A and B are shown apart, each in its own frame.
Chain A
Amino acid sequence: MLIVGELINASRKAIGEAISIQDAEAVKKVAIDQYEAGANFIDVNAGIFVGKESEYLQWLVTTVQEVVDAPCCLDSPDPAAIQAALSVHKGTAMINSISMEKARYDALIPVIAGTDLKVIALCMSDEGMPETAEQRLKIADRLINGLVQNNMKIDNIYVDPLVQPVATNKTFGIEFLKAVEAISTEFKGVHTMCGLSNISYGLPNRKFINQAFAVMAIAKGLDGLIINPLDKRIMANLITAEMLSGRDDYCSNYLRAYRSEKFEF
């Protein structure tokens, strides 16, 4: 399971303020906390700063990597911002994200083609947001083929089937889950990942819904998540779900988590 820590996002008030006053210590602390909680990648987003996104994204990468030995997930649709961030990034970054929307696709392909970068491929096209598993699969097919033709490794592709709120249509949960299963079986070696908050929009007890949904998706083959790793319950659920899905040899991750007190809330 690949965990991307989502907290360093400028649309969160504390982070937005830290970025605007260039408070490196605040950013570093969130990076360290997430890394220690088990994040494999640290997401960085400076999207609210129109005109300064490149500069700030670069600053975030440098700041984060001064204190944690982890790659970043560069969260921007702007190729210029991503390139600025890549120029200072150590290790192999993840790009968040490319999609089948033509403008976004055409802008990002030149940046990632032939590289060893990891990329999140979001199932969205100019025709709008997919609602059924079938629609998602069609977009995933085009995205995966496009990326492979541009010399991206299968193992570096993380398809995000796009989570939509179940509050607005009762089929939105199950159609996503079916898509994860279909992508995992039809495109061997391609990963699937997603964020969770969209699923619970419009409903109470959102964390509870997010956890259950993550567990169900993991059972279908999901192997990446963009989450808040400081949430101990979700992390404990992920570790357990992976074990129950047959992806934890000798239950060793589960037991390691138990011994390091990951199940004490």
Chain B
Amino acid sequence: MVSFESLAQSVIAGREAQVKEQVQEMINAGADPLDVINQGLIAGMNIVGPRFKAGDMFVPEVLMSAKAMSAGIALVKPLMTDKELPSMGTIVLGTVKGDLHDIGKNLVGMLLESGGFRVVNLGIDIAPEAFVLAVKEYKADIVAMSALLTTTMLGMKDTIELIKEEGLNVKCIIGGAPVSKDYADKIGADGFAPDAASAVDLCKQLLSA
């Protein structure tokens, strides 16, 4: 059987076909699906994230790795019940009301998923009420909000206020070009991430605390 290390390398290199082949080989050899995910697929993405953050890997390469990993997950998923699927926690993700920027937010979602979180991506132009509904419905641990405009970033404040009003026990984090640590502190967010890889670290940190 190929080694988990070799599978992780295939994920890092973004070789989708090879990842599928190796995962299938592992399944055929009777490997534990959970080990395939944790020691192979996620282990690979755990290298990709920091490399991306350090500027040694770039967005298209991260996308290739994430795609390769998803293809691997798709093969092992049918072998496990939902309960067995590992999850670091549930994150509700969206771009705030009035803002249609999709790309950065999706990149964050992809990296969070690759990092082992369950991600509910609500999409763009999401009103505070819709965030609140989703937090309740999916029993989210974290709400992650994106805004790319100085005019729409106020929607983050509105959402956090509504979440507090509703008394929901959920962490709120924010990101996007005009957003800063200062702004996050000012509106009572639990965290701010300057880039997609940092968002993964931030979520891990918030949920381990």
Contacts and interface: CB of A to CB of B under 8 A. Distances in A.
Given A47-B151, A78-B151, A202 B98 contact: no
A126 B103 CA distance: 16
A146 interface: no
B173 interface: no
Nearest to B151: A77
Nearest to B150: A47
Interface residues of A, number: 20
A20 interface: no
B178 interface: yes
B101 interface: yes
Interface stretch (B58-66, B126-134, B137-145): B58-66
Contacts of A11: 150, 177-178
A88 interface: no
B154 interface: yes
A167 B60 contact: yes
Given A47-B150, A48-B150, A168-B107, A203 B59 contact: yes
Contacts of A141: none
B202 interface: no
Contact of A128 (B59, B102, B107, B177): B102
A165 B104 CA distance: 10
Interface residues of B, number: 20
A21 interface: no
Interface in A1-44: 11
Nearest to B55: A204
B186 to A, nearest CB: 11
Contact of A168 (B59, B100, B124, B154): B59
Determine chain A's interface SS by DSSP, over half rule. Answer: loop
B149 to A, nearest CB: 8
B94 to A, nearest CB: 13
Interface in A157-179: 164-165, 167-168
Nearest to A167: B59
A150 B60 CA distance: 43
B150 A129 contact: no
Contacts of A70: none
B103 A164 contact: yes
Contacts of B103: 164-165, 168, 201
Contacts of B178: 11, 47-48
B59 A103 contact: no
Interface in B45-71: 55, 58-60, 63
A248 interface: no
27 contacts: A11-B177, A47-B149, A47-B150, A47-B151, A47-B178, A48-B178, A50-B150, A77-B149, A101-B100, A103-B98, A124-B100, A126-B100, A128-B100, A128-B124, A128-B125, A129-B102, A167-B59, A167-B60, A167-B63, A168-B63, A168-B106, A201-B59, A202-B60, A203-B58, A203-B59, A203-B60, A204-B55
Interface of A: 11, 47-48, 50, 77-78, 101, 103, 124, 126, 128-129, 164-165, 167-168, 201-204
